[in-house]
Structure 1
């Protein structure tokens, strides 16, 4: 009866709802604290923990369904402040006890392998699903994530002066009006983790904010991996070693990646009022990707927002979502438009590998070239997209192809479903058995 009353009360007026939510969260925390660490629990203890967390999550979902706008407005001072994902989640943990995990809980979780976590990020998924489902709060959050990061703003004067920036996993160079972003994680074939997401968003911000940049290029650098030594590689997707070790986060990786640098490539960077022309809220640039060797998983996903994609003749495109057990970002949203429903299902559900020389690959790659011809084609493409009419037309094409609200609604459901997948038994089993040697075999 208590659970039923709580479910009713969290939908009631905000003050009573907050009180009930906080008490329910404290009860669940006390129960979990009395149990051994997740990896040491007996089957009965695991069942008790699952029952308690499921009940608490039902209350959190009901609370957010009823009060999402009020919660968001309180956290952003009536939407007068732009608050990014991580700050929004941490502020919610303080202002609304029992709603999302605290920074301390997340730090504890971060130190555990994926298989030994409580799954606290699922509560963040519940929170962000409700926020993004709200037309007012969700739109405001998308805008907040389109603003340049503090790191980028701090580095901008140096980049404007020198035309270069070494961000660690991404190098940025401006030459002849072109911003050239080179992914250079030579230790892991440009597999993405939280660090690379931060570096990529910073590089994208710098490229977009530089008024002398007319067009942008993304390419992978030369690798030192024995199998690919001296060869360029575009991207191996998510870093499964980091995922297994618990280092891939929902907020700082999976959500920030989609709402941050990838969305900025598509929509542009949102600048302060008066920093651009009065006709536009964002600074946009045309984007070209050059794919060497392979674009796997996340590397394939980002190609779907580029204006032109060129590939080496021996390259391939792959979205092994079913194999890895997680959702391939916004690919389920964008790929159908690019290649059609049948091929999209073959790529995502069936794990089909699309080689650059196959006829269907022209739905992903605009041009395919042999050897050094790719370098020549890249320069030709950079020149072509400098045309003054390109920017206006890409803006209108993107507007027609993908509305902001359609993207917002997709990302709302993605926030929860991806969080659930992170802690699903099949994913835990897969990433646990996915050693570096096995991952290398995927590239063959």
Structure 2
């Protein structure tokens, strides 16, 4: 005897998914600064209201995330359109007709207040800082759009570049101490004057001198101190001895960007991704702006030759650093690499500068294919001036200091740099880099890579 089947129950009622917010019609800018700013603010307010109707990033469904991305895309298009009309006007207002110098963080903060809706607010940025990279809205992308627009302008871009070549407040505060004692410890960097050379030693020892916000700030201060001291004629960059078990007691030049910090949302677009290019690296290449008055660069800047001493390896940002130095000495067992394809981000100005040294084909192998160059490779001669056994490194560095300390070196290296990297070429490249780099930092493939890396031990980070 079979058990009678139960009659079918009512079909489950599926809750309809809430209507997803959509972008409002884009504003039509007319070219009038005040009217367009008011229209932009109304549009961005409406977009933020729509975004606020969605859960925070970690709690969104795939459909909700797509809706959020459409909202961001629409409002960013409106910001780009506004800037296409008014970037020079806005920059002129912020700098009081180019008479006021605002460094990058100050400029962005001032612009956010001056033109509401053009940039993320302080509260929005503070909220982002509390989240890992994958859980952020990507407010820094809007900062990148603004920076790209400013740098595209010959007037505003040149003024910002010059501003970022001025000494930092921290360096000015420490300059007297360095002149008097010849030694300043800056947390992750030690700078010492020995004879007529400033020796700058990276000491981010727990992570193989991986680059982060703090190391970049410390390094820029050290570069400023070396350039401000009249007794210094040459700068030397070298990695200190490591605490990492695999390299304990050995010197390491640099492991590149700290990918754990990138995953945790602790790598700043303003202070690191763009700031190091406009500040630290550009000061090494072009010098320190000490006189804001118009005139020739030779009359307004202090520039000195720089030497790099590569122990173990120079990866990523470490290799980028070598591209602005005047002499590179490496130990026989060292290697260099720009793992842009592996990490998924743009290797700073490496794409601009590497080709000059290696030619286009090898540059593509390094940047696109991840090719590592060891000091035993014939191609190493294109990137390093001298390769010596580890025990001969100190002597080779001192020899380079003597040679580059000659009086005519500074003037000639300045002219070489002007010929190789004219200011307008640098500015145009950086304008595109500002937009491309910050977008890559929030792309899904990069977020997946840094998360996967976090799940496994790494010898480099």
Structure-1-length-normalised TM-score: 0.96
How many residues of Structure 1 are paired with residues of Structure 2 in the alignment?
439
> How big is the shift at 1:212?
0.5
Determine the C-alpha separation between the residues in 2 that align with 1:109 and 1:436.
Answer: 23
- Where does 1:50-65 land on structure 2 (aligned, <5 Å)? 50-65=69-84
Q: Deviations over 1:272-330 (max 9, x none)?
A: 359x9995110011100000000000000010000000100000000000100000000
Aligned to 1:160: 179
Determine the C-alpha separation between the residues in 1 that align with 2:357 and 2:101.
Answer: 33
Determine the C-alpha separation between the residues in 2 that align with 1:262 and 1:322.
Answer: 22
Q: Which runs of 5+ in 2 are unaligned?
A: 1-22
Determine the C-alpha separation between the residues in 1 that align with 2:168 and 2:340.
Answer: 30
Assess if the C-alpha contact under 8 Å between 2:24 and 2:43 holds in 1: no
Q: Does 1:27 align with 2:46?
A: yes
Q: Does 1:358 align with 2:383?
A: no
Q: Does 1:74 align with 2:106?
A: no
Determine the C-alpha separation between the residues in 2 that align with 1:438 and 1:124.
Answer: 33
Aligned to 1:412: 431
Determine the C-alpha separation between the residues in 2 that align with 1:418 and 1:347.
Answer: 18
1:305 alignment partner, SS class: coil
- Cα 1:289–1:345 shift into 2, 3 Å: same
Determine the C-alpha separation between the residues in 2 that align with 1:439 and 1:414.
Answer: 28
- Cα 1:18–1:394 shift into 2, 3 Å: same
Determine the C-alpha separation between the residues in 1 that align with 2:175 and 2:89.
Answer: 36
> How big is the shift at 1:340?
0.5
Assess if the C-alpha contact under 8 Å between 1:241 and 1:436 holds in 2: no
Choose which of 252, 255, 268 in structure 1 pairs with 2:274.
255
Determine the C-alpha separation between the residues in 2 that align with 1:395 and 1:86.
Answer: 28
Choose which of 1, 6, 12 in structure 1 pairs with 2:31.
12
Aligned to 2:263: 244
- Cα 1:279–1:427 shift into 2, 3 Å: closer
Q: Which runs of 5+ in 1 are unaligned?
A: none
Assess if the C-alpha contact under 8 Å between 2:255 and 2:313 holds in 1: yes
- Cα 1:284–1:278 shift into 2, 3 Å: closer
1:82 alignment partner, SS class: coil
Determine the C-alpha separation between the residues in 1 that align with 2:122 and 2:334.
Answer: 42
Determine the C-alpha separation between the residues in 1 that align with 2:362 and 2:297.
Answer: 42
Assess if the C-alpha contact under 8 Å between 2:24 and 2:47 holds in 1: no
Determine the C-alpha separation between the residues in 2 that align with 1:107 and 1:137.
Answer: 27
Aligned to 2:3: none
Assess if the C-alpha contact under 8 Å between 2:132 and 2:265 holds in 1: yes
Aligned to 1:224: 243
Q: Deviations over 1:90-122 (max 9, x none)?
A: 111101111111111111101101110101111
Determine the C-alpha separation between the residues in 1 that align with 2:299 and 2:452.
Answer: 49
Aligned to 2:12: none
Q: Does 1:103 align with 2:122?
A: yes
- Cα 1:177–1:295 shift into 2, 3 Å: same
- Where does 1:259-278 land on structure 2 (aligned, <5 Å)? 259-272=278-291
Q: Does 1:369 align with 2:394?
A: no
Q: Structure 1 residues 213-222 or 21-30, which shifts more?
A: 21-30
Choose which of 142, 167, 181 in structure 2 pairs with 1:123.
142
> How big is the shift at 1:371?
1.8
Moved over 2 A (4+): 2-5, 276-279, 435-439
Q: Does 1:141 align with 2:160?
A: yes
- Cα 1:421–1:279 shift into 2, 3 Å: closer
Aligned to 1:401: 420
Q: Does 1:169 align with 2:188?
A: yes
Q: Does 1:206 align with 2:225?
A: yes
Determine the C-alpha separation between the residues in 2 that align with 1:30 and 1:433.
Answer: 34
Q: Deviations over 1:176-230 (max 9, x none)?
A: 1110000001111110111111101000000000000011100000001100000
Q: Deviations over 1:99-148 (max 9, x none)?
A: 11111111110110111010111101110110000000000000000000
1:22 alignment partner, SS class: helix
Aligned to 2:344: 325
2:67 alignment partner, SS class: helix
Assess if the C-alpha contact under 8 Å between 2:291 and 2:301 holds in 1: no
1:388 alignment partner, SS class: coil
Choose which of 95, 104, 110 in structure 2 pairs with 1:85.
104
> How big is the shift at 1:398?
0.5
Q: Does 1:37 align with 2:46?
A: no
Q: Deviations over 1:385-425 (max 9, x none)?
A: 01111111101110111001100000000000011101111
2:330 alignment partner, SS class: strand
> How big is the shift at 1:435?
2.4
> How big is the shift at 1:163?
0.3
Determine the C-alpha separation between the residues in 2 that align with 1:108 and 1:278.
Answer: 41
